[in-house]
């Protein structure tokens, strides 16, 4: 396994550091039915949607020509998932995550960039208690920018000279290509394949072996 040097490791959220689909499947199904749609959002279906911006997800999964209603439905999905996550006692982080973060934070700085809604990363930090390992984070919901722009913006803000991004789907790889940063594929996550990477990990614990 190739060793990688980086002065800033940027993490994706869903499918990379945690998996909330067992919690969110009920949240999304309930929201959709409340809005008049007979859609069942199974964990597998959500895995195929997560990673996109929320507007793209709405366009992909809500069968309605009325864009405003599609987006309103996704807003309700977000509202319900955050409410359900707040009361859930399920540990949805991938096994071994804290050990990885603790070890890597001694070698380099850690960041998060996600296409999630505002407040989602903060919820992860609050639930996990892992905020002490991260230097900075940003998401689509904070500024309306896609992942590539936020990777570039966060890197510039924090003067990261050699960033590397850890993500699980092709959309993450595409964003890295646009941002001009190296991509590590978290193959244990939601994506079945990607078209290239500097390293592949089948378990998050393997990050410790490849980051110098």
Residue with structure tokens 């936020």?
Answer: 150
Number of domains in the chain: 2
89-103 pLDDT, tens digit per residue, is: 999 999 999 999 999
Do 44 and 115 belong together in one domain?
no
Reply yes or no on whether the pLDDT at 87 is more than 70. Answer: yes
Mean pLDDT of the 74-90 span: 93
CA–CA separation, 108 vs 101, rounded Å? 10
Residue 183 belongs to domain with CATH number: 3.40.50.1000
CA–CA separation, 96 vs 137, rounded Å? 21
Do 14 and 111 belong together in one domain?
yes
Task: Look up residue 6 and give its two tokens.
Answer: 């980086």
pLDDT band for position 1 (cuts 50, 70, 90): low
Any domain includes 172: yes
Do 198 and 101 belong together in one domain?
yes
Do 12 and 29 belong together in one domain?
no
Mean pLDDT of the 167-177 span: 97
Give the residue from 34, 58, 87 where a domain finishes: 87
pTM of the model: 0.91
Do 137 and 181 belong together in one domain?
yes
Domain containing 61: what range?
21-87
Do 14 and 28 belong together in one domain?
no
Check if the beta carbon of residue 98 is closer than 8 Å to that of residue 135.
no
Any domain includes 69: yes
């Amino acid at each position: 396994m190739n060793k990688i040097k980086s002065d800033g490791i940027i993490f994706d959220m869903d499918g990379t550091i945690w998996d909330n689909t067992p919690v969110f499947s009920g949240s999304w199904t309930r929201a959709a039915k409340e809005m008049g749609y007979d859609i069942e959002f199974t964990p597998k279906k959500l895995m195929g949607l997560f990673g996109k911006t929320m507007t793209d997800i709405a366009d992909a999964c809500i069968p309605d020509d009325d864009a405003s209603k599609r987006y309103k439905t996704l807003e309700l999905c977000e509202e319900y998932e955050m409410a359900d996550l707040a009361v859930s006692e399920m540990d949805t982080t991938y096994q071994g995550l804290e050990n990885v973060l603790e070890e890597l934070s001694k070698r380099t700085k850690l960041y998060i960039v996600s296409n999630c809604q505002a407040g989602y990363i903060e919820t992860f930090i609050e639930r996990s208690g892992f905020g002490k390992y991260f230097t900075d984070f940003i998401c689509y919901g904070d500024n309306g920018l896609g992942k590539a722009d936020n990777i570039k913006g966060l890197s510039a803000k924090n003067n990261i000279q050699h960033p590397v991004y850890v993500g699980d789907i092709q959309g993450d790889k595409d964003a890295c290509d646009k941002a001009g940063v190296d991509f590590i594929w978290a193959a244990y996550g939601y994506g079945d394949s990607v078209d290239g990477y500097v390293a592949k990990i089948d378990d998050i614990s393997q990050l410790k072996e490849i980051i110098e």
